[in-house]
Amino acid sequence: MNSPQSLLQTHILPLTTIRCERLLPWPGEVLVGTSQKVDPSDVVARAGQPRALQVVDVARKLHISREQAENSILKEPGAAIHQGEIIAEYKQGFWGSRKITSPVEGMVVAVKAGRMLIEPTPTLFELRAAVSGMVTAATPGFGIAIETPGALIQGAWGSGREGYGVLKIGVRERDATMTAEQIDVSHHGTILVCGAGLDTPLLEKAQELQVRGLVVGGVPARLLKHLSRQNIPVIATEGIGRAPISATIFTLLEANEGRETTLLATTPQRWESRRPQIIIPLPASTAPPPPPGPAKTLAPGQRVRIRRAPYWGKSGTLKTAHERPRRLDNDLRLLGADVVLEDGTVVFVPYVNLEFINT
Amino acid sequence: MVETETRESVLVADCGSVTTRVLLLDVVSGQYRFVARGEAATTGEPPWSNVTVGLLHAISEIERITGRQIVGENGQLIVPSKGQATGVDLFVATTSAAPALKTVLVGLTDDISLASIRKVALSAYTTVVDTIGLADTRTDEERIRQLTGLGPDLFLIAGGTDGGAGERLLQLVETIALLPSLAEQRPDSPRIIYAGNGKLRPAIAEILQGAALRAAGNVRPQVDVEYLDSAQAELAALYEETKLFELPGAEDIHNLADGGLTPTAKAFGWTIQYLGDVLGSSGNIVGVDVGSSSVTIGSIINGRFHLAVRSDLGIGHHLPGLLEERPLERIVRWLPQEIAGDKVYDFIINKSLTPATVPMTTQELYLELALARELIRTTLPAAFPERFKNGGGLPPSLEMIFASGAVLTNTPRPGQAALALLDALQPVGLCNLALDSHGMAPSLGAVAAVLPEAAVQIIESGAFRELGNVVAPVGRAQVGEIVLLLKMIYENGGELEVEVEYGSLEVLPLPPGQRAELQLRPLKRFDIGAGPGRGYRRKVYGGVVGLIVDARGRPLILPTDDGERRATIQQWLWDMGG
């Protein structure tokens, strides 16, 4: 690719105004209004969570034909039904009748070919604020927006859950990795930064001690499916595999150890703009800090992160943006830039392998 | 003639999932020629969410290169041109960046109706998310629960011969009729294409009352007759009416483009058909396109066109899909170095998260080419269903193979791409290999639809980068035995004679622009496409690799010992100049 005009941008901001949208997955009821202060545990909206549809095959259950079943069904689409209520009855003259009762409370949504489709009454879903701040927008039926001054770190991958707790740094070096043995009761209820990687014993111990969330440099691909089924939120700041947490992020996390922190561990989806985020609300000053700025342009001095080996996960400063293709070690010729890494080394990186860091 | 004079400059755009390519074609010395190319990141996804942004970036590259103003101050394309330096006369556009149709197949038996309807599904950008047939042992409740979770866009239904019995198909349709979303008549409610027993259409319509139902010709009017055209046309139309416009900004491009915005795979298929017609080739042609979110293989075999699109596979966004069908061992077997399986797994997920990135090390370059090999091989059963129905077997003799997709066309050395194609497709006989280096293949099909002479002239002027011809003898022998006598007589009178050993891979010099007469005499009843033991003479043209003699055998069998296999792969890379 020749054009560097569309590089991605990652926010790693020590102080900004963070806007956090909290939206219901299904239409429901918003419980808070604008200008209201909320804490992470506050329920801000609720909705009915649909449950799996139930199919009742009347013909099969009563051992009758489809046509007979149609005549035996007592409820029409739209009818509310209680668990145990008779929904079909087949009369056999002198011998009495056979009946079917509803397996759940709910509503009949369809009756076709001797089958009934029942939508069970939804269970209550409560949406919590997850982050402390001020409600700045409320859309009835859908959700709210919360704003807070604070530190914002966008990650590369998230396990799909969210959580909040006090931030604790479990490693003193960003390229170190915690072991399961290093987790103890002092980590209970915390958002734990556990280094460059993650393994199953560490994950299990963290869950056992009710750690509220994990921040790591990278997670191994083999753990992804397992992680997506766990309740504990995990954010990988760099991506998949073992990777030291970038120096910029690690320094920022260290500076905020002990503060209340929220993990919104959104799993990146192709057509969605939401990325996994670490939010650390900070005390408000007199004037709110500026929100994250627009996408940067390519210029010397710009902070960048490299997204491919052999420099994957490393950050640095853009030194020279080249206008003619340069040759890589594998002989590919591409447009790119010289980047000064944190250890002072200067390396050439194709534009497509760079992302801007907004610090 | 007047038409031609007013449509000299042509701007063609292909908005891929990762990269948007724009080419400028213009008349030079009375012939259409490729003038310039611009590329930019596709911007259909967040944070841009408008594919026209990337299109304008790519056009600005062409403006910078040529000095020609193509976009006006108001941000609109200048059409028609005003003199030599402003605007273009024609704009055509294709895209593969839109989401695929999540499709459920409904039919009776795996090897008849479901097999045919699967071919229909694979002719467009669809992802088959579920299959319901007589062999399906799930209860209605399980089916409905799973279908509700999957949220399909389309049910493709087939089954029964025309006029035959239909009770069992109607029972299956009654199951899906229970889905509440079918009759809700929302824009995102699932659509239905029925391409089964024509006699059942009224009954199907009655069962699916309220649903968005379209009827197509029966894919199996008789048990031994397959008719896919009608259902494929309905599917293509449905895709273009619905999913294509889910790509943010697609409608703007559609309104600007002559002939509208065309799905890339469809245009790629047109190009293959066009190559068959224009080159006057009596042989078989295969085109392969390995994209970020789909793999397309189009072919003309014995005069019959076939297109297979795997929208669940790709070298970027959909790379993890490969792991559903291929264990990691199948991928790493193509590597000359040892890489731990976990590293490859990590790489695959990272690549899907950052699909636009390119390899910076030789190891990752080889890894991407290994993945490309397996992506193609995984798509082959869809591309050649009849061949794979009975467990594979030798591929038909091909006259030409051409490949699209940056993973193959952007390799630093052409031999690397050639070797990947040989390993993946394993052609037999004498075949020409070419790369779509400018990314023009889909665009040419779209151009041909509105300005055929431009497409013809661009193809004839060398739209593809010729890698060279490959000779691949097939038969049984011991490694090292002579199986083919090859003589190449160059235009300058020079001659080269080679005794080809079984198991060898070598490249003979025949650079681009040169021609030679090739005389082939197989031994031990080896077949080079003319029948066992039969030789022939043929004029061949040079390429950037040369004349490749691939006597490694078919099917290609790799050494089982890891070390020996890696050494062999490395040797092949060296042999091919990779």
pLDDT of B316 above 50: yes
pLDDT, average across residues B75-99:
92
Chain B residues in contact with A156 (beta carbon < 8 A) = 353
pLDDT, average across residues A264-270:
90
Determine, for residues B357 and A57 on separate chains, whether the beta-carbon distance falls below 8 Å: no
Residue B466 and residue B346 in one domain: yes
Number of domains in chain B: 3
User: Which helix (H) or strand (E) element contains residue A33?
Assistant: none
**Least Cα separation, residue B533 to chain A (angstroms):** 42
Check if the beta carbon of residue A158 is closer than 8 Å to that of residue A276.
yes
Residue B189 and residue B84 in one domain: no
pLDDT of B280 above 80: no
At residue B540, the pLDDT reads 96
Nearest-CB residue to B361 (from A239, A240, A309):
A309
pLDDT of B386 above 90: no
Residue B253 and residue B223 in one domain: no
Q: Of all residues in chain B, what percent carry a pLDDT higher than 90? A: 77
Q: Which residue has the higher pLDDT, B528 or B388?
A: B528
Residue B128 and residue B83 in one domain: no
Alpha carbon separation from B444 to A207, A325, B94, B546 (Å, rounded): 57, 27, 10, 26
d(Cα A90, Cα A68) in Å, to the nearest integer?
Answer: 8
Q: Which of B259, B281, B310 is the last residue of a domain?
A: B259
Chain B residues in contact with A220 (beta carbon < 8 A) = 342, 345-346
Angle (CA) B537 B538 B541, round 5°: 145
Residue A3 binned pLDDT confidence (cut-offs 50, 70, 90): low
Determine, for residues B349 and A221 on separate chains, whether the beta-carbon distance falls below 8 Å: yes
d(Cα A169, Cα A265) in Å, to the nearest integer?
Answer: 18
Nearest-CB residue to A110 (from B57, B171, B178):
B178
Residue B321 binned pLDDT confidence (cut-offs 50, 70, 90): very high
Residue B53 and residue B121 in one domain: no
Determine, for residues A156 and B353 on separate chains, whether the beta-carbon distance falls below 8 Å: yes
Q: How many residues does chain A have?
A: 359
At residue B434, the pLDDT reads 96
Q: Check which CATH number belongs to the domain holding B21 and give it.
A: 3.30.420.40
Determine, for residues B360 and A239 on separate chains, whether the beta-carbon distance falls below 8 Å: no
Residue of B nearest to A243 (CA): B346
Residue of A nearest to B64 (CA): A3
Query: Residue B172's closest CA among B235, B230, B105, B120?
Result: B105
Architecture per CATH, domain A9-48+126-281, reads as 3-Layer(bba) Sandwich (3.50)
pTM: 0.93
> What does the pLDDT look like over B131-150, one tens digit per residue?
999 999 998 888 888 998 89
pLDDT, average across residues B363-368:
98
Chain B residues in contact with A224 (beta carbon < 8 A) = 349
**Least Cα separation, residue A10 to chain B (angstroms):** 11
Q: Check which CATH number belongs to the domain holding B150 and give it.
A: 3.40.50.280
Tokens representing residue A221 in the block: 């691909």
The complex's ipTM works out to 0.91
Q: Parse chain A into domains and list their residue ranges.
A: 9-48+126-281, 54-120, 303-358
Nearest-CB residue to A330 (from B139, B348, B362):
B362
- Within 8 A by CB and 6+ apart from A241, the residues are A218, A220, A221, A312, B343, B346, B347, B350
Residue of B nearest to A219 (CA): B346
Fold classification of A54-120 (topology level): OB fold (Dihydrolipoamide Acetyltransferase, E2P) (2.40.50)
Q: Does A23 touch chain B (CB under 8 A)?
A: no
- Within 8 A by CB and 6+ apart from B3, the residues are none
Residue B240 and residue B254 in one domain: no
> What does the pLDDT look like over B183-225, one tens digit per residue?
677 778 899 999 999 999 999 999 998 888 999 999 999 999 9
pLDDT of B1 above 60: no
Q: Which residue has the higher pLDDT, A340 or B4?
A: A340
Q: Name the phi and psi angles at B552, rounded to 5.
A: -80, -5
Among B360, B362, B369, B573, pick the best mutation site for testing chain A contact (most A Cβ within 10 A).
B360
Residues β-bridged to residue B501: B482
Residue A270 binned pLDDT confidence (cut-offs 50, 70, 90): confident
pLDDT, average across residues B25-47:
89
pLDDT of A2 above 50: no
Determine, for residues B361 and A9 on separate chains, whether the beta-carbon distance falls below 8 Å: no
**Single-letter amino acid, residue B188:** D
List the domain range (segments joined by +) for residue B153.
101-246
Residue B556 and residue B455 in one domain: yes
Q: Which A residues, 267 through 326, put their C-beta within 8 Å of a C-beta on chain B? A: 268, 270-273, 295, 307-312
pLDDT of A1 above 50: no
Residue B358 and residue B381 in one domain: yes
Chain A residues in contact with B141 (beta carbon < 8 A) = 53-55
Nearest-CB residue to B39 (from A3, A156, A353):
A3
Contacts 24+ apart (CB under 8 A), B319-323: B319/B348, B319/B351, B319/B352, B319/B355, B319/B371, B320/B348, B320/B349, B320/B352, B322/B348, B322/B371, B322/B374, B322/B375, B322/B378, B323/B348
Residue of B nearest to A271 (CA): B45
Domain at A303-358, CATH from 1.10.3720.10, 2.30.30.30, 3.30.499.10, 3.90.1150.10: 2.30.30.30
pLDDT of B4 above 70: no
Residue B314 and residue B390 in one domain: yes
Q: How many residues does chain B have?
A: 578
Tokens representing residue A205 in the block: 């111990």
Determine, for residues A53 and B145 on separate chains, whether the beta-carbon distance falls below 8 Å: yes
Residue B221 and residue B113 in one domain: yes
Residue B116 and residue B185 in one domain: yes
Determine, for residues B357 and A352 on separate chains, whether the beta-carbon distance falls below 8 Å: yes
**3-state class (DSSP) for residue B139:** coil
Determine, for residues A2 and B359 on separate chains, whether the beta-carbon distance falls below 8 Å: no
> What does the pLDDT look like over A97-152, one tens digit per residue?
889 999 999 999 888 878 888 999 999 999 999 999 999 999 999 999 999 999 99
**Least Cα separation, residue A186 to chain B (angstroms):** 32
Nearest-CB residue to B346 (from A117, A240, A331):
A240
**Least Cα separation, residue B302 to chain A (angstroms):** 38
Determine, for residues A241 and B350 on separate chains, whether the beta-carbon distance falls below 8 Å: yes
Chain A residues in contact with B323 (beta carbon < 8 A) = none
Residue A6 binned pLDDT confidence (cut-offs 50, 70, 90): low
Residues β-bridged to residue B17: none
Residue B223 and residue B329 in one domain: no
